[in-house]
Amino acid sequence: DTEVTQTPKHLVMGMTNKKSLKCEQHMGHRAMYWYKQKAKKPPELMFVYSYEKLSINESVPSRFSPECPNSSLLNLHLHALQPEDSALYLCASSRRGGGGGLTDTQYFGPGTRLTVL
Amino acid sequence: KQEVTQIPAALSVPEGENLVLNCSFTDSAIYNLQWFRQDPGKGLTSLLLIQSSQREQTSGRLNASLDKSSGRSTLYIAASQPGDSATYLCAVPYNNNDMRFGAGTRLTVKP
């Protein structure tokens, strides 16, 4: 299995809702990532999990809460989002963890298109 | 600070043409550089990863070159096909804690 899966594909939520995005990989990769991509812009790194531990938090607002229950699964919990948080949320993984993860080939999922009303 | 720039922003070519996409970076102390393809509304697909010690990397009709000293990489696509239509992004890891992407080149290959 050489793919990263993400669910749901699309999500519409109100500003008071709580929802979660899910990402899975079964390639035995040791690092997993969340990126945010606004329309016609490049992806921006939000979170890095290396060996199931949060290693990098790029000063993302606390209304985004990541969780890594095991080495194959990554969640992004959403609460009290703003309309400007509407974007494509991409999950990625890489074989190596630690400092070498971001220098390794990144495998991306198809993304979740999030709309906040 | 690492800034990544891609020129042109958009490119339209007839089928069969060979083409070159450009990527520039301001900090030449890079570990490697990756080229990705993104179809509209989809995730990114890694095409080539070229290490800082390499000058070229090839995969099928794709060839990526890297010139660290001048802060440039090019992606050469031979014999372009309509199926190559997509946005192509380059990215470099930065400071061990970030991945810097260019804004991408949107390629259209016309039949």
Span A54-81, pLDDT tens digits: 987 878 999 999 999 999 999 999 999 9
Report pLDDT for A102.
Answer: 85
Give mean pLDDT, residues B8-14.
96
Looking at the DSSP assignment, which residues form a beta bridge with residue B50?
A: B33
A113 touches chain B (CB under 8 A): yes
pLDDT tens digits, B38-76: 999 899 999 999 999 999 999 999 999 999 999 999 999
How many Cα atoms occupy the beta-carbon half-sphere of B44 within 13 Å?
Answer: 31
Give mean pLDDT, residues A41-55.
92
Report pLDDT for B1.
Answer: 86
Report pLDDT for A23.
Answer: 98
Q: What is the mean pLDDT of chain B?
A: 95
Strand locations in A26-111 (E): 31-37, 44-50, 53-57, 64-70, 73-79, 87-94, 107-108
Amino acid code (one letter) for B26? T
DSSP calls for chain B: ---EEEE-SEEEEETT--EEEEEEES----SEEEEEEE-TTS-EEEEEEEETT-SEEEETTEEEEEETTTTEEEEEE-S--GGG-EEEEEEEEETTTEEEE---EEEEEE-
Whole-number percent of chain B with pLDDT over 70: 100
Give mean pLDDT, residues A82-90.
97
- Asked if the Cβ–Cβ distance from B43 to A56 is below 8 Å, we say no
| A93-97, B13-17, B41-45 — most confident range | B13-17
- Asked if the Cβ–Cβ distance from B42 to A110 is below 8 Å, we say yes
Interface test with A, best of B59, B87, B92, B96 (most A CBs within 10 A): B96
Laid out side by side, the sheet with A18-25 consists of A4-7, A18-25, A73-79, A64-70
Give the confidence band of A1 by pLDDT, cuts at 50, 70, 90.
low
Tell me the C-alpha distance between B89 and B95, whole Å: 20
- pLDDT of residue A96 exceeding 90, the answer is no
pLDDT tens digits, A3-14: 999 999 999 999
Nearest CA in chain B to A49: B97
Contact A20, A76 (CB under 8 A): yes
- Asked if the Cβ–Cβ distance from B103 to A41 is below 8 Å, we say yes
| Residues on chain B touching A88 (C-beta within 8 angstroms) | 41
What does the DSSP 8-state code read for residue A116?
A: E
Interface test with A, best of B99, B101, B105, B106 (most A CBs within 10 A): B99
- pLDDT of residue A2 exceeding 70, the answer is no
B53 touches chain A (CB under 8 A): no
- Asked if the Cβ–Cβ distance from A88 to B102 is below 8 Å, we say no
Give the confidence band of A25 by pLDDT, cuts at 50, 70, 90.
very high
